Amino acid sequence: MKGKDKESDARKAKDLVQVTERAHKEAARKADAASDVSRQAKSALKQAKKEFKVASRAAREARDAADQARAAYSKAAKRSAKADARLGKARKKAAAKQQPAPADEASKAAATKTVAAKSAAAKPAAARKAAAPMRRKQKASKPRPKVAAAAKPEETAAAEGDSFVLGESEVEVQ
C-alpha cells in the first residue's frame, strides 16, 4: 500500500500545484487590471492638472482685464467730471456774456442785492429771521431783456407754414 499512498500524495501535490498556478494566474490578471486602472487614473490626473492650469491662467487674465477695466472706468469718470465742470463754467460764462452789463453803480448794487436776496431765500427760516433786522430796503430791480427766449417772427411764420396737420389737407380723397 505504500505505493498507492505515494501515488495519491503525488496526485494531491499535483492538484495543489495546479490550484496555486490558477490562483497565481488570477492574481497576476487582477494586478494587471489594477495597474491599468492606476495608469488611467494617473493620466486623468495629469489631464485634470493641465485643465486646472489653463482655467487658472484664464481666470488670472480675466482678473487682470477686469482690473484694467476698473482703472479705465475710474479714469474716464474723472475725465467726465472734469469735462462737466468745464462745461458748467463755460455755460455760466456764456450766460454772463449774454446778460447786459450794469450801466451804473446803482444797478450793480441792485444786482448784488438780488443775489443776496436769492441766497437768503435758500437759507432756512430761522436763519432768515435772525438776519432780518440787518437788511435794508431793496430798490426795485429792472426787468432784463430776454434775448434767447424771443424768436424772430420770420422764423415762426416759416415754421407754421411748414407744419402739416392731419385732416386739414386741401385735397380730399374720394
Amino acid at 84: D
Grid coordinates in use for 72? 479705465
Tens-digit pLDDT profile for residues 31-86:
999 999 999 999 999 999 999 999 999 999 999 999 999 999 999 999 999 999 99
pTM of the model: 0.36
Question: What integer best gives the mean pLDDT of the chain?
Answer: 78
- Please report the DSSP string for 124-173 in residue order: -HHHHHHHGGG--PPPPPPPPP-TTTPPPHHHHHHHHHH---TT--SS--
Residue 83's pLDDT is what? 96
Rounded CA gap, 45 and 141, in Å?
88
Q: How far is CA 24 from CA 10, 20, 37, 74, 129, in A?
A: 21, 6, 20, 73, 110
Give the pLDDT mean for 105-115.
57
The residues, ordered by sequence, that sit 6+ positions from 117 with a Cβ below 8 Å of its Cβ are 138
Q: Are 110 and 139 in contact (CB under 8 A)?
A: yes
Grid coordinates in use for 93? 460764462
Across 29-107, the runs of DSSP E, i.e. the strands, are none
Residue 108's pLDDT is what? 57
Residue 20: its H or E element: helix 2-98
Residue 113's pLDDT is what? 57
Confidence class for position 2, pLDDT limits 50, 70, 90: confident
Rounded CA gap, 102 and 108, in Å?
6
Tens-digit pLDDT profile for residues 124-146:
555 555 555 556 677 777 777 66
Confidence class for position 4, pLDDT limits 50, 70, 90: confident
